[in-house]
Structure 1
Amino acid sequence: MRWYRDITSVEKRTLWSCFAGWALDGVDTQVFSLVIPSLLATWSISKGQAGLIGGATLVAGALGGLLAGILADRVGRVRALQITVIWFSLFTFLSAFAQSFDQLLALKTLQGIGFGGEWTAGAVLLSETMNPKHRGKAMGIVQSAWGFGWGGAVLLYMLVFSFVSPQWAWRVLFAIGLAPAVLVLYLRRNIVEPAREAQTARDDRGQRGVFSIAAGIFDPAVIRTTLVGALIGLGAHGGYHAITTWLPTYLKTERHLSVLGTGGYLAVVIVAFIVGCFVSAWLQDRIGRRWNVILFAVCCAVMVNIYTFLPVSDTTMLILSFPLGLFSAGIPATLGALFNELYPQGVRGTGVGFCYNFGRIASAGFPVLIGHMSSSMSLGAALGIDAGAAYGLVVIAALMLPETRGARMAASAQNGTVAEAPAASRS
Structure 2
Amino acid sequence: MSLSTDLPAEPAERAVPFDWFRTLSAKGKRAFIGAFGGYGLDAYDFQVLPLALGAISSYFLISSGQAGLLTTVTLVVSALGGALAGVLADKIGRVRTLQLTVATYTLFTVLCGFAPNFETLLIFRAFQGLGFGGEWAAGAILVAEYAHTKYRGRAVAYVQSAWAVGWGLAVLVYTLVFQFVSEDLAWRVLFWTGALPALLIIWVRRNLTDSETVTQRRESAGKRAGSFVAIFRGDLVRTTFFASVLATGVQGGYYTLATWLPSYLKKSRHLNVVGTGGYLFFLIGGAFLGYVTGGILADRLGRKRTIQLFAVLSVVFLVAYIQVPEGANTMVLLLGFPLGFCTAAIFSSFGSFLSELYPTASRGTGQGFTYNFGRGVGAVFPTVVGYLASTTLGLAGAMMFGAFGYLLAAIALFGLPETRGRELA
Counterpart for residue 192 of structure 1? 209
**Is contact 2:101–2:134 with CA below 8 Å preserved after alignment?**
yes
Matched ranges for 1:344-359 at <5 A:
344-359=359-374
CA distance in 1, matches of 2:54, 2:265: 22
Q: Which of these residues, 220, 227, 237, is aligned with residue 202 of structure 1?
A: 220
Gaps of 5+ in 2: 1-16
Q: Does 1:221 align with 2:235?
A: yes
Identity of matched residues, %: 43
Post-superposition shift, 1:304? 3.3
Query: How many residues are aligned here?
Result: 403
Stretch deviating more after TM superposition (36-45 or 226-235)? 36-45
1:17 aligns with one of 24, 34, 39: 34
In structure 2, what residue type is equivalent to 1:120?
A
Sort the Cα spacing of 1:43 and 1:339 in 2 relative to 1 into closer, same or farther, 3 A: same
How many Å separate the matches in 2 of 1:232 and 1:158? 34
Report the CA distance shift for 1:167/1:75 in structure 2 as closer, same or farther (over 3 A).
Answer: same
TM-score, length-scaled by structure 2: 0.83
- Taking the TM superposition and a 5 Å limit, the aligned residue runs for 1:354-373 are 354-364=369-379
- For 2:25, the aligned partner's letter is T
Most deviating of 95-104 and 71-80: 95-104
The TM-score, its normalising length taken from structure 1, stands at 0.83
Offset of 1:203 from its aligned partner?
3.1
User: Aligned-residue CA RMSD in angstroms?
Assistant: 3.3
Partner of 2:138: 121
Residue equivalent to 2:353: 338
Quote the Cα distance in structure 2 between the aligned partners of 1:346 and 1:179: 33
1:9-66 Cα shifts (integer Å, max 9, x gaps): 2221111111111111122122223334444555555555444333222222222111
Instruction: Pick one of 290, 308, 316 that aligns with 1:276.
Output: 290
**Closer, same or farther in 2 for the Cα pair 1:227/1:324, shift >3 Å?**
same
* Distance in 1 between residues matched to 2:109 and 2:152, nearest whole Å: 31
Q: 1:267 to 1:87 in 2, by over 3 A?
A: same
Q: Unpaired runs of 5+ in structure 1?
A: 410-420, 422-427
Q: SS state of the match for residue 177, structure 1? A: helix
Deviation, structure 1 residue 208: 5.2
Output the CA distance in 1 between the equivalents of 2:332 and 2:24: 41
Secondary structure at the counterpart of residue 406 of structure 1: coil
Verify: 1:326 aligned to 2:346, yes or no: no
User: What's 1:405 paired with?
Assistant: 420
Moved more, 156-165 or 184-193: 156-165
| Counterpart AA for 2:251 | H
Could you list the per-position Cα deviations for residues 67-119 of structure 1 after superposition, in whole angstroms to 9, with x for gaps in the alignment? 11111112111111111011111222233333333332222211111111111
Code of the residue aligned with 1:202 in structure 2: it is: S
Distance 1:262 1:2 in 2: 34
Q: 1:85, 1:252 → 2: CA distance?
A: 31
How far has the Cα of 1:373 moved from its partner?
A: 12
Deviation, 1:162, is 5.4
CA–CA separation in structure 2 for the residues paired with 1:148 and 1:200: 33
Instruction: Answer yes or no: is 1:176 the counterpart of 2:185.
Output: no
Correspondence for 2:318 among 286, 304, 318: 304
Letter matched to residue 223 of structure 1: V
Residues 63 and 116, structure 1, Cα contact 8 Å, conserved in 2: yes
* 286 and 71 in structure 1: CA distance in 2 versus 1, 3 angstrom threshold: same
